[in-house]
Chains A and B, each alone.
Chain A
Amino acid sequence: MIKLLELRSLLRTYYQKFQMIVDPVLKFLLAFITLRLINSALRYDARLEKMVVVLLVSLLCAFTPPSILVFFALMFSVLHVMAASPLMALVVVVVFVILYCFFLKFAPQYGYAVVGIPILYTLNIPYLVPILLGLLTNPITILPSACGVIVYYMFDIIKKHTVVNANYTTDDVLPLYTEVFEDITGRAEILAAALVFALVIIAVYVVRKLRMEYASEIAILAGAVVNVFGFLLCDLKFGSAGTIGKMILGTVLSALLAVAVLFFKRVLDYTAVENVQFEDDDYFYYVKAVPKIEIGLQTREIKRINEKRAASEDEDEDDYEEILDEETGEVFFRPKNGRGAGAQVRRMKGGRQIPPLRRPGRAAEREGSDRAGTGRNRPLRNTSDWPDPEWEELERTESERGREREKISGSSRNLSAGAAADKAEPDSAAGKRSGESFSEPEAEREENGETVLLKEEELLRMDELARRKAAMEKLDEPEGDNGGH
């Protein structure tokens, strides 16, 4: 969905930017396709089929209002018929005037439907027109859509009779007209098709006006369903069951195209740049008004100025892993690779989620070296993330525990490791203690109410004390030996 919205913003921006070019190009293409389809459907006048003629007329349509395209489309149709039978051409013109008087006069702005329906009939997607009319306009468009249906069937019938009777003489004109007239008035499916189109327009319009989410999309679906059922009945009644599959496929395609048109309509609606001219007592104004649009989502690029430093910061953040104690439901955080020897272990009872503690890395040291100097040594970079009272309590508990542990470690240190081993491999010893530090809280959990914190510094301090003690003992021993000798 985000991608679609971005595409929408992008299209809107580009449309605004190149509106002066895009509009005529689209109109030119529309005119070109329309005239080519008319030429391929009615192949009576070879002169009209020439590419130069089509291109010139399309070019003219590109820079004139859409009603000119409608006029030229109808002119092309009449001229083609005139090449075959002048009387039929006259009849076609009279029919056009009748359609105008009865239908189009009341909705002249929707004249493109009269051309659109016959054109799209050749592509088997005429159902797109009523769906779009219901979606974008009002029910008065029932009249032009009925005109479109009549025009399509009229040309279909004229084509059929004119092709068969291409060598008619003047005396045969009246019988030809009679045949065409009988065929037109005798085909009830014209009326049925116009009725179904009208129902589709009404269904789409009514559903679109409902106050619900995705009303337009549901309206398209409703229109497609009405269309399928309507034409299904028509096909069954008029014995053209063979075209049912074609009709359903055409309806599905029309519905999909309607969704696409809806998308583009939303994109382009009210985005046109207005060029207006007006004046007051003092000035003439030539104003170009550009509608405001929302800025599309931009891709955010993070540029690392110092790669090394940035990498170390990331490393600091990822140093710790989260461990859940399944028995108690407590959460621990410990260093992943064991290099943070006396890393802090933090837990909280009652299923309360705690943000992971982070070892003060280089970045934190840089930020708050003074903080490290005060001995407070807060593990978080940003202390504002933590409520202070809680932290104070934790620290107090921690310092008390540290003093107790110091007393204990004084005696246990002699048993655990020698001073020489400590000197040779301080890291591994620290690592070992880090392992101890994970097990210790488990033992103390019952006693302590909420939180246990073990700090690296305390353990180091314990190490240091043990080392001094061992050194003192070592110094004492030779003296004792020498004295003995």
Chain B
Amino acid sequence: MLNIRKTRLMTKLAIYEQGPGKQDIRLSKYYKSDYVRLQILKTILSVTVGYLLVLTLVGLYKSEYLIAQAVNLDYRAIGMTVLVIYVVLLTVYTVGAIIGYSIKYDLSRGKLAKYFRMLKVMRRFYRDEESGEAAGNEEANHD
């Protein structure tokens, strides 16, 4: 026999799970610190790749000069400049990632609270069903 109230609740849960809640549920598998750390790592990787590509484009642009002045170049100074820019970029992006992803995680927890409440109600449904079935079996045994 179909339980209409249960079906309604399951539908609401399914809409959330398959729609906006997909990402929230994914985040809920992590502790906040783990999630933020993972995202920082991804950010560092992404910034590094981006920075290398920018360096490539700049190198291509300056290629004639670099080839012509290959012997006379102050590689240490160039390296320091490149490194300083990289570190500054990394710092900015890392701080941004910590703040941004922490907020994102907190927001998802807020949304998940309602979802968990609905899950609790769902669990109660199952408990009631089980107790009903158990009572039915007992009656049948008595008969």
Residues on A lying within 8 angstroms of B by beta carbon are 91, 94-95, 97-98, 100-102, 105-106, 140, 174, 177-178, 181-182, 274, 276-278, 280, 283, 285, 287, 289
Contacts and interface: CB of A to CB of B under 8 A. Distances in A.
Contacts of A91: 57
Given A101-B46, A283-B2, A277 B14 contact: yes
Contacts of B60: 174, 177
A101 B47 contact: yes
Interface in B62-76: 63-64
Nearest to A279: B10
Nearest to A278: B14
B53 A101 contact: yes
10 contacts: A91-B57, A98-B53, A101-B46, A101-B49, A105-B42, A276-B14, A276-B15, A278-B10, A278-B13, A283-B2
A287 B7 contact: yes
A181 B10 contact: no
Instruction: Report, nearest first, the 6 A-B pairs whose CB atoms are least far apart.
Output: A101-B50, A276-B14, A278-B14, A181-B61, A101-B46, A287-B11
B89 to A, nearest CB: 9
Contacts of A274: 11, 15, 19
Contacts of A140: 100
A277 B14 CA distance: 7
B18 interface: yes
A289 B15 contact: yes
B81 interface: no
Interface residues of B, number: 26
A289 B6 CA distance: 14
Interface in B8-26: 10-11, 13-15, 18-19
Contact of B11 (A101, A102, A181, A276): A276
B61 A177 contact: yes
Given A94-B53, A101-B47, A285-B11, 6 more contacts: A94-B57, A106-B100, A140-B100, A177-B60, A274-B15, A289-B15
B28 interface: no
Contacts of B63: 174
Contacts of A182: 61
Nearest to A91: B57
Given A101-B46, A285-B11, A276 B18 contact: yes
A182 B53 CA distance: 17
Contacts of A283: 2
B56 interface: yes
A276 B47 CA distance: 39
B53 A97 contact: yes
B56 A97 contact: no
Contact of A102 (B2, B42, B47, B56): B47
B41 interface: no
A178 B53 contact: no
B38 interface: no
A95 to B, nearest CB: 8
Contacts of B11: 274, 276, 278, 285, 287, 289
B19 A105 contact: no
Residue from A95, A106, A289 whose CB has the most chain B CB atoms within 10 Å: A106
Contacts of A181: 57, 61
A42 B47 CA distance: 31
B83 interface: no
B84 interface: no
B50 A97 contact: yes
B92 to A, nearest CB: 11
B94 to A, nearest CB: 12
A91 B57 CA distance: 8
B119 interface: no
Given A177-B61, A289-B11, A94 B56 contact: yes
A182 B42 CA distance: 31
B10 A98 contact: no
Nearest to A180: B61
A374 to B, nearest CB: 57
A101 B100 CA distance: 16
A287 B15 CA distance: 10
B12 to A, nearest CB: 8
Contact of B10 (A95, A101, A105, A285): A285
Nearest to B19: A274
B121 interface: no
Given A98-B53, A278-B10, A105 B15 contact: no
A20 to B, nearest CB: 17
B54 interface: yes
A92 B57 CA distance: 11
A453 B47 CA distance: 95
Nearest to B42: A105
Contacts of B7: 285, 287
A283 B64 CA distance: 71
Contacts of A105: 42-43, 46
A78 to B, nearest CB: 16
Contacts of B42: 105
A372 B10 CA distance: 65
A178 B63 CA distance: 10
B59 to A, nearest CB: 11
